[in-house]
Amino acid sequence: MNSADSALRGALLQLTTPQALAAFVATLLAAGVALVVARTLDARRVPAAPDLPLNEHALDHALDGLVILAPILAALATLFASHAVLAGLGIPTTALDVAARIVMALLLVRLAVFVLGLLLGPGSWVRTRGKGITLILWVVVAVALLGWLDVIEAALNRVSLVPGKTQFSLWELLKGLVVVTAFVVVASLIARAIERHVMRLDQLAVSTRVGVSKFTYFLLVGLGVSPRSTCSPARSESGSDSACSRSPATSSAASCS
């Protein structure tokens, strides 16, 4: 009982130190600045549906990413300014540095999810659930930065999901889910890349056919041959007197009577 009381008292003393209080106030200030920036941008930004086609220009992608990352960048700038102020006052900034690293991790995770959504294209599950995926990944990275991942892993390994001698813990289940999710993401990226390649080949084939047709037409015109439509005297299915077929070298439709 005395050991528990002493541990609680030590934790409270650490939380009430000037260093911890300064880091807490700076973190609250950074969160407030990020919230103000996010609400301001949301009020001026026209919401876009996740299934709409993406813009083709890289500048549009960069502007969209900057708008998404602006609140996190504002929070990070606030933490850096607070770090400079505390360092000038001679207050240790160890706790504030940890908070800055966690916010930096949030920035990198959000950027990675945004880029992955662009690669997978419109309507992808990464684009529609970008905020939720970012939150989950950020929590995992923050736990690892704080040094709590080993403790959580040990606790989850003690939770066995399969009774008997075979050990299948909750931690192994989570690792399996992570591996499956990574496999799905990689497979989606490969399928998206193949789809884009096939679409380029189709467009190239169409452009080639149009170019050959135009080249043949102008070649015949240059040689003095007038490309005309050929008409066969056979009766058509509709009962007309003649059926007409167009020359492949003709670029415009010709009518036959």
Give the pLDDT score at 194. 81
- End-of-domain residue from the set 125, 147, 169: 147
Predicted TM-score (pTM) of the model is: 0.66
Model confidence pLDDT, tens digit, residues 138-157: 998 999 888 888 888 888 88
Task: Please state, rounded to an integer, the average pLDDT across all residues of the chain.
Answer: 76
45-62: string of b/e by CB count within 10 Å (b at 16+)?
Answer: eeeeeeeeeeeeeeeeee
Does one domain contain both 166 and 140? no
Per the model's pLDDT, the better-predicted residue between 107 and 167 turns out to be 107
Highest mean pLDDT pick, 6-10, 123-127, 141-145, 148-152: 141-145
Residue 32: how many other CB atoms lie within 10 Å: 13
- Assigned token pair, 62: 């960069």
Same domain (yes/no): 25, 99 = yes
Q: Are residues 131 and 199 in the same domain?
A: no
* Structural domain span for residue 105: 14-147
Q: Is residue 141 part of a domain?
A: yes
* Res 72 pLDDT > 90: yes
Residues 129, 29 share a domain = yes
136 and 126 Cβ atoms separated by less than 8 Å: no
Task: Tell me: do 37 and 139 sit in the same domain.
Answer: yes
Choose between 30 and 91: higher pLDDT: 30
| Residue-level pLDDT at 233 | 43
In total, how many domains does the chain have? Answer: 2
Q: How is residue 163 written in tokens? A: 């009774």
For residue 166, the model assigns a pLDDT of 67
pLDDT band at 242 (very low <50, low <70, confident <90, very high): very low
